[in-house]
Every structure is written in structure tokens, then in C-alpha cells.
Chain A
């Protein structure tokens, strides 16, 4: 069974990708359950936090400040990380990042590498690049392990395997770990993963991680996690490679006092995640003696330069927007065709593709703004969605086939009608005439042609009344005038 397509360059448009998922009741139930659980925990802790709005304000301001001074902080990070014994690499795009990492691993003669979950490695499609170079990547996050062994793809940024139930996990583990008698309760399954991975932690000498935050003033990296596999990968191997988008940097160590508080509550509904780790470069006799950071651009500096879009880079990957999104609730992450799904995915993915792919994603939203309300760094996602939609339409304006797109045509005609009240009245009259054909005896429309059929897929439409409002008003005014005379 081939997994869902998570490469935005070839993934089907969102409305199409969503179709099979809408039929998958199990998955939708899992998504609803998972997001309900996290949201409930998050809401409880946010309600308890008296200074939640102030924290959000500061978190947003810190992130905006970093972006406005990104060059300075990146150089500061590089200087301090290098002074502490780390090696800093710069990758302009996904391909280069993959090359850098493969080269480091080749120098290490690594045939296997353990990985801590990192969205960024999925973004650059690292695992296939490693595979092509003959290097086996072992995912150590329980969810990523389930997905890897199950040849599946993540559907949520923080709990990627939420669409998989215990029976499915049992089946995957039994098969791939050689444990036919394995029971299906989560305890047993977790214990099986623990044993399986323990062997890897103690034997594999190179690890790849992401980074939640890079601290400029000390050249440190911070990783936030729950399971402990992060600590294993950061501590036991000889060589560690951290892959991080350039936007991950924070100015000072103390800025974590804000970001950690908002991240934990937003991501998993905890005051702080079970384990947060911080390290600077290489420390003699403690942990990896070779440490590399790969700083990744891959479209970020372009996003930085756009006034409305820059805020996209404030994201700290908490997934609170996914958990609250009523669209995501129905489709899960696979419909977005990208490692980044949900509201943040809808704005980040097409931008990382320089607006050449995933143009359906900015439309995968009803603009309800629930995401903006919960975003700990106050990204106005609806504002960015609307701006990206304008960019997509501007692309369409250059295409000659736009006049055959009923939506485009309809919008142009509507705009023409809205340009003048006389034209608008005429359009209303035409509409009334045209809709009469489709209006039943009870005054309702059940089927419409073309784009209208998308409406009548599941909804009726009231037919037009005898008088529009303005006709009624005009008549009333006329009668009043007559009466006044």
C-alpha cells in the first residue's frame, strides 16, 4: 500500500486529496479525538495562566524582533556555536542541506543514523536522500517509528501518528519487530518500542536532530520533547547533526522564559514538556564530540522579505492551529500533501515552494480565524491566507485560459455588476430570470449547473423572492411620496 503523497510538488490539490479521507471514518474519529484531547488540556492550562495574553504578546514580539534582525542573530549564533566547538553549515535549499548531511555521514562512515523527530528533515526529504546514499535512517520518536515501520506519513505536526489506532500499531510492530504475540494495549506497544530502540541508541554512533530554538548569544541549541529519545540521540552518539531553519534563532537564553511557556501549553497542554535539553557546541567528556549545525534557507529569506507573509516565520511549530482548525478536524494532515499541514501548512507550504506549487492550500480554509486566536506567537493566518490567494489569482491573470475558469469568469462578471447600481439591478433581474428555471414549486432550488452544482451537492438554495430588497424599498418610497402629496 503506498502512503499518502506528502510532496507538495506532486500532491493532488487539497479538494481532491481530501475526498478519500472524508470517507475514512476511523481516521476522522481519531483526528477529532486527538485534537479534542490536546485542546482540552491546552485550554485548561491557558485559563490557569493569568498572564497568557502578555506571554503571547511578548512571544510574538520576540519572534518579530528576531526576524527583523535575522542576519545579525544568525551571525552571532554562528560565531558562538563555532567558538564552543560546533561546526556551522549553511544550506540555501533542500538539496544542498541533504548533500551536506550525507557528506558529514560519509566522513563518519555511517551506515545508520538515529533521528529525533524534525519537521525540517521531512521538508527537505532527507530520508530518501540518505537511503539513496546507502544510509539507513532510524526514526526514534514513537510516532515517527510507527510511521516509518508502517510505510506511512505523518498527519499532525506534534502527534503525527494520531490517525493510527492501537490495532494498526500492533500489526506494524508485530510484523516489523518480529513479535507475533504482541498484545495491542498501548503499554505493551510502548514497551516493545522502548526495547527495540534501546538497542539502537546504544549502538548507533551518529544522530540527526532538528532544533526548537537556536540561542544566538551562547550558540546553544534547545530541544523540547516528551519521550526521552531526544536526550538519547543528543547524548549517546559520537556525532550529532542538528538541522534548523534559519528562523529558529532567539536572541538570548532568557528569551526561553517566554517561548518555553507558550510552546508547551500550546503544543501538548503542559506547563513544560517532560524534557527540555540545551547544549552549546561540544563539551569534553559529555555527549557527542562532533557537532554540526545545518542552517537551512529553502525559501525562508524570500518569505522574510514580504510584508504580510513574514509573520509566517514566527511559527514555533506548536500545532495549536491544527488542533483548533475545523477544516483540519475533517481532513487530518494528509490532505495537505506536505509535512506541514493545517493552517500553518496552508501558508508555509506554498511559500516554501515559491508559490509554484500547492496553490490550492491557501484556499483550504473557511477563514474562521480560530487559528489566529490560539497562535502563541500571534500569526494572523487568515491575513496571510488572503494575501496568498491574491498572489494565486495574480498568477491566473497571466494565463489565457483564465476565461474558461468558471470561478474567474464569475468573479469578473460579479465585479462588473457591482461597479454600478444600474448594472447590479440588471444582474439581479437576469439572475431571477435564470434561477426561475431551477426553482421548484415550493420556491426552493435543488440543482444548479456548473459551479452552482458544488453548492447543491449538499444544500438547497431558496429561490429569489418576487422583489429584491431595493425593489421593495423603491416601491415603498414611491408610495410614501404619493401619499405625502
Chain B
């Protein structure tokens, strides 16, 4: 049905632009690309931004990770946690109920109080957690329905600026979710209310890369 329209639209567009010469390489790019903070500074800024929007942040060494994961989950007051199918088994100590996502139904995920995932990147400038939804981050639904999200972010994954993230990942991922705050609305009298849909509570473990 729309083949005719496709041609019409493209013809119309081409007629409007046939005389234009405008090259991609000529787009000026004078904005800040690389950050100026060192790694410590980045971690500090990331932590600050996460705190600003009410997320909980702890740092830990790799050897302590499973215990810290368990501790954070227990502290959330919830008991059932969904995890991606590729979530490392040694991160899953006993003490809470783990539900590994192997094609769980939405209802089953809905029953879980929380979710734990790894992440693909962190952008310190905006306190953004980036999920590319690979095996250790899981399907999008599991980090969407539960009310509490524990996210493990490696120090080596943290960049300062948004352009730095894009230079690390020049190819568009198939799926990506960028989390820069809890869900919020200001639609009623401009009063900011946290947590409309999506997890209301975010807890981040910044995992140091030291051995």
C-alpha cells in the first residue's frame, strides 16, 4: 500500500535537496570529547551523581563481591531476585531466593522483589548506567518490572563523558538502556515524584578491578 507513497516521498525529498552539498565530515565538533578527570575522579563523580538521584553506592574488591551482593540484596528487604541467564554462579550466594531468567513469564518476573545485573558502561558526568542486555545483563524485562535493581559496574567500565562512551562503543548495540535516575515525573504541578514505572530503587556496586 505504501510503495507509491514511498516513491512520492523520496522524490519530493530529493527534489527539495538535490542542489545541497553538505558533508558529514564538515560537521563541526568543538565540544568536549575526552574528560579531564583521572580514574579516581571518575569514580568519585559517578558516585556523587548516583547519590544525587537517590541510588545507593558501595565499592568493593573482586574477592568480596559475592558477599557484598548478598548484603545489598538482603538490605533491600526483598527476598526473590531475578538474574540474567549469564549471571556468574559464584556471585549467587545462598541467603536469598535466586530466579535465573530462562524464559520466565512476565507474571513470574513481576513476583520478584528485585533484580541483579552486571552492566556495560557507566558515564560519570550524568551518573548513567548503561545496559546492553547481553547475557550478564539479561532481557530488558527483568530490569524493568521488579522494584529494586542491583547493578554491578566495573571501575574499568566507567568513563567520564558521554562522547567517551560512544568512542568505546562506536557500533550501535542491538539493544541498550541508559539509566540516569529513578523513573520520575513532574507532571503534577511540577512536583517531582520518584518511581512511576520501572524500578524505584537502584543500588550500585562499583567493582574495583584490582586482583
Contact = CB atoms under 8 A, between A and B. Distances in A.
Interface stretch (B71-79, B112-120, B185-193): B185-193
Interface in A39-98: 50-51, 54-55, 57-58, 61-62, 64-65, 67-71, 74-75, 84, 89-92, 96
Interface centre among B16, B125, B197 (most CB of A within 10 A): B197
Nearest to A269: B186
B126 A202 contact: no
Contacts of A365: none
A227 B197 contact: yes
A285 B13 contact: no
Contact of B17 (A70, A228, A273, A287): A70
Contact of A220 (B53, B172, B196): B172
A64 B190 CA distance: 33
B165 interface: yes
A471 interface: no
Contacts of A279: 174-176
A285 B12 contact: no
Given A227-B185, A231-B177, A275-B177, A286 B17 contact: no
B16 A65 contact: no
Contacts of A30: 189
A65 B27 contact: yes
B156 interface: no
A312 to B, nearest CB: 13
B185 A51 contact: no
B10 interface: yes
B99 interface: no
Contacts of B9: 74, 90, 92, 246, 295, 297, 301
B59 interface: no
Contacts of B29: 58
Interface centre among A69, A146, A226 (most CB of B within 10 A): A226
B166 A254 contact: yes
A241 interface: no
A81 B127 CA distance: 30
B182 interface: yes
Contacts, number: 252
Contact of A71 (B14, B171, B179, B183): B14
Given A194-B197, A229-B196, A278-B173, A165 B30 contact: no
A190 B189 CA distance: 12
Interface string A255-296: 011101100100010111111111110010111000000010
A190 to B, nearest CB: 4
B116 to A, nearest CB: 18
A408 interface: no
Interface centre among B9, B20, B107, B127 (most CB of A within 10 A): B9
Interface string A93-115: 00010011001000000000000
A271 B174 CA distance: 24
B132 to A, nearest CB: 9
B56 interface: no
Contacts of B173: 278
B184 A274 contact: yes
A272 B128 contact: yes
A217 B172 contact: yes
Nearest to A103: B1
Contacts of B92: none
A231 B182 contact: no
Given A232-B144, A257-B162, A58 B22 contact: no
Interface string B150-187: 00000000000011011100111111111111111111
A257 B166 contact: yes
A348 interface: no
Given A227-B184, A283-B175, A258 B1 contact: no
A55 B140 contact: no
Given A236-B106, A273-B180, A305-B15, A74 B10 contact: yes
Contacts of B163: 254, 257
A75 B11 CA distance: 12
Contacts of B180: 270-276
Interface string A148-169: 0000000000011110111001
A39 to B, nearest CB: 11
A189 B188 contact: yes
Contacts of B128: 272
A193 interface: yes
B51 to A, nearest CB: 14
Contact of B13 (A38, A64, A74, A169): A74
B184 to A, nearest CB: 5
B110 to A, nearest CB: 7
Given A30-B189, A279-B175, A304 B184 contact: no
B188 A190 contact: yes
A143 B191 CA distance: 13
Contacts of A74: 9-10, 13
A142 B8 CA distance: 37
A198 B106 CA distance: 12
A278 B22 contact: no
B141 A161 contact: no
A278 B175 contact: yes
A167 to B, nearest CB: 10
A412 B172 CA distance: 58
A211 to B, nearest CB: 14
A342 interface: no
Contacts of B110: 202
16 contacts: A33-B189, A58-B28, A71-B10, A75-B10, A142-B185, A143-B187, A162-B190, A194-B197, A202-B106, A228-B144, A231-B144, A271-B180, A276-B180, A283-B174, A301-B12, A304-B16
Given A275-B183, A310-B16, 15 more contacts: A38-B190, A58-B30, A64-B22, A65-B22, A69-B17, A186-B191, A190-B188, A227-B196, A228-B198, A235-B141, A253-B166, A256-B166, A261-B162, A275-B179, A285-B139
